[in-house]
Structure 1
Amino acid sequence: MLVPVALRAEETRTVLTLADQPLRLIRGAAVYKAASGVAVQKDDILETEAAGAQVEAGADAIVALGPQSRVLVANLAADGKSPVELELLQGWAKVYAKGRRASVVTPALQVTVPTGSTIVHAGDGMDAVFAEEGEQQVARSGTTLKLAAEQYAGIDTSKPQPVVGRPPRAFVSAMPPAFRDHLARVPGVRNAGKVAPVKERDAAFADVNDWLASALPARRRFVARFKPRLADPDFRKQLDRALGQSPDWKPVLYPARRPDNGLF
């Protein structure tokens, strides 16, 4: 029996399957509210508030977010083969990837998971990872550590050497309780992939300033993404005050004048 093409397309969507409270979604240069059932796209920024959330790209790629967490979905395709790539600015993320590589980048470290499950935290001066299932790698400033399953690595941003071993009590107690369980698909998500996010407004500078000032890889793509917002005088003024002399934004805000090659 042939399956209609439209049905196959719906089945391969990446979907926000669990959101006890609507998330803040920054898509392009606009801010939305996203509830369970919204399809997640490449380069979406998801920000939780008091409750966590879960995003699924099929049974082999599941991402859970803790409360007060901010993540950019660099790649989370439901094709069963492409890598899972997240950039975690703040908070907690748990990633399960079976048979496909996953990576989570924070301001202080990069975690690579060939296959398995990892728990990553960013913020409060300590970025950390717990290799829940499968061997993993943690890279920082050109140095790479190998973690066996159930090992922990913590990077204190004020110290040169990471802490490696069993997860400390502070990490375990701060971890979202839901992360203690293995990630599983959420059954019976209503209108999965068909729910439209609700646009609230164009992004203000306060919505994105932490992202623009971060050292995450996506920063290089933010100039083209948020350049249209420079038409807003308030956005431009605040960006100029904060980042006007940065290598990323100075050429955009103050483009060099071309020399006058006229004969007269």
Structure 2
Amino acid sequence: MLLLIAGLLQTSALLAASRNVGVITFAEKPLRLIRATALYNVGPGVHLQNGDFIESDQSITQIEGLATSTLALGPNTRAAITQREGVTVVHILRGWLKVQPAPRTAASGLEITTRNLRSDVSRSASVMHVSDTQVEVFVESGSQSIVELDKRGQPGRTSLLSGEQFTLRKGDEPLQSPGRPPATFISTVPNAFFDALVLLSGKPAGDVAPKKIRDVDFADIAHWLHAPNLNRTHMANQFAPRLANPAFREAIVREMGGSFEWETALFRFESKSRTLKKTGDSVRTTHLQQPTGA
């Protein structure tokens, strides 16, 4: 019964993850997209969905129809898109992001999260850079609230950043006082981010199907599994079907063993495998016991 309930909850989560949340309207080069348990190449015309993970290389990508804003991803950027309680959340693991209010009003707000910050960007145009050691934020116009997050993702101090103000947070240190953006930041901003984002979806956007590359390997998702401030239960449910692959299962046991979410997923997989084996053995035994004709 517990396995049945868990399966129903997992199915509900996957169905909830199928809603379109935006569309790629420009991509210099194809992006990598992880959806469900597969890896895809995607480009303009592909509609993104709740639960997608997207990764760029040395290129710029524009996404429209994402809550209240138009969004651009810079080179070498990894982003996850989720929706919760009427808010669209873009989690930046690393890379560059530019966000700009769209001319139309959406029903939900837009938040950007990183390993140590959460920012409401619904009413501002801003540029953000995320590295392994720090997060930099420059607000071009409007204003946005920035909440400091601790190692467990719990909120701390909130600051308000106004137009033409810059701030950064290194690791777990307090957010620095707002000021002018330094030359070191300006010199590394992608050139395309110095201009305003131009809407490209004047025509109805087509629904282009993603091009599947293959099922995901552990290496494809390892950096996401260790990312802070993401729902690990949802990720374990999403990628649990890949446990049927021995190499993937071995990597999960080696790298994620001991975590409650993955220990639960492994228990479910092993229980299901034992049940299927018993059923198969029973069917074979029944077949062997059938009387043969004269």
TM-score w.r.t. length of structure 1: 0.82
- The answer to whether the 8 A contact 2:22-2:63 is kept is yes
Instruction: Indicate the residue corresponding to 1:89 in structure 2.
Output: 93
Distance 1:216 1:13 in 2: 20
SS of the counterpart of 2:242? helix
2:61 to 34, 45, 53: 53
Q: Deviations over 1:146-200 (max 9, x none)?
A: 111111121111x5222232222222211111111111212677x8332111001
Gap change, CA 1:242 and 1:13, over 3 Å in 2: closer
Would you say how many aligned residue pairs link Structure 1 and Structure 2? 239
The whole-number CA distance in structure 2 between the counterparts of 1:47 and 1:183 is 20
Q: CA 1:84 to 1:132, structure 2 compared with 1: closer, same or farther past 3 Å? A: farther
Task: Report the Cα offset of residue 60 of structure 1.
Answer: 4.9
1:246 to 243, 251, 259: 259
Q: 8 Å contact 1:104–1:120 — kept in the other structure?
A: no
Aligned residue number for residue 164 of structure 2: 150
Q: 1:109 aligns to what? A: 117
Output the CA distance in 2 between the equivalents of 1:28 and 1:13: 15
Change (3 A) 1:127 1:219: farther
How many angstroms apart in 1 are the aligned matches of 2:120 and 2:168?
Answer: 15
Question: SS of 1:210's equivalent?
Answer: helix
What is the 5 A alignment of 1:1-264? 14-57=22-65, 60-75=68-83, 83-98=87-102, 99=105, 101-141=109-149, 142-157=156-171, 160-164=173-177, 165-186=179-200, 192-254=205-267
Identity of aligned residues (%): 35
1 or 2, which has the higher helix percentage?
A: 2
Q: What is the distance in 1 between the residues matched to 2:82 and 2:100?
A: 16
- After TM superposition, give the deviation of residue 230 of structure 1 in Å: 0.9
After superposing the two structures, state which structure 1 stretch, 110-119 or 84-93, moved more.
110-119
CA distance in 2, matches of 1:114, 1:39: 21
Query: Larger RCO: Structure 1 or Structure 2 (Cα < 8 Å, ≥ 6 residues apart)?
Result: 1
SS state of the match for residue 248, structure 1?
helix
Counterpart residue identity of residue 186, structure 2? V
> Does the CA contact (< 8 Å) of 1:107 and 1:122 recur in 2?
no
The residue type equivalent to 2:125 in the other structure is S
SS, match of residue 222 in structure 1: helix
Q: Where does residue 9 of structure 2 map in the other structure? A: none
**Shift in Å at residue 254 of structure 1?**
4.7
Counterparts in 2 of 1:218 and 1:13: CA distance versus 1, 3 Å: closer
Gaps of 5+ in 1: 1-11, 77-81, 259-264
Quickly say closer, same or farther: Cα 1:224–1:187, change in 2 above 3 A: closer
Secondary structure, in 3 states, of the residue corresponding to 1:186? coil
Measure, in 1, the Cα distance between the counterparts of 2:22 and 2:173: 38
Rounded Cα–Cα distance in structure 1 between residues aligned with 2:142 and 2:110: 12
Are 2:237 and 2:265, in contact at CA under 8 Å, matched by a contact in 1? Answer: no
CA contact (8 A) 1:88 1:104 kept: yes
How far did 1:220 drift? 3.5
Q: Alignment partner of 2:235: what SS?
A: helix
CA distance in 1, matches of 2:67, 2:234: 30
1:216 Cα deviation after fit: 2.5
Is contact 2:68-2:110 (8 Å) kept? no
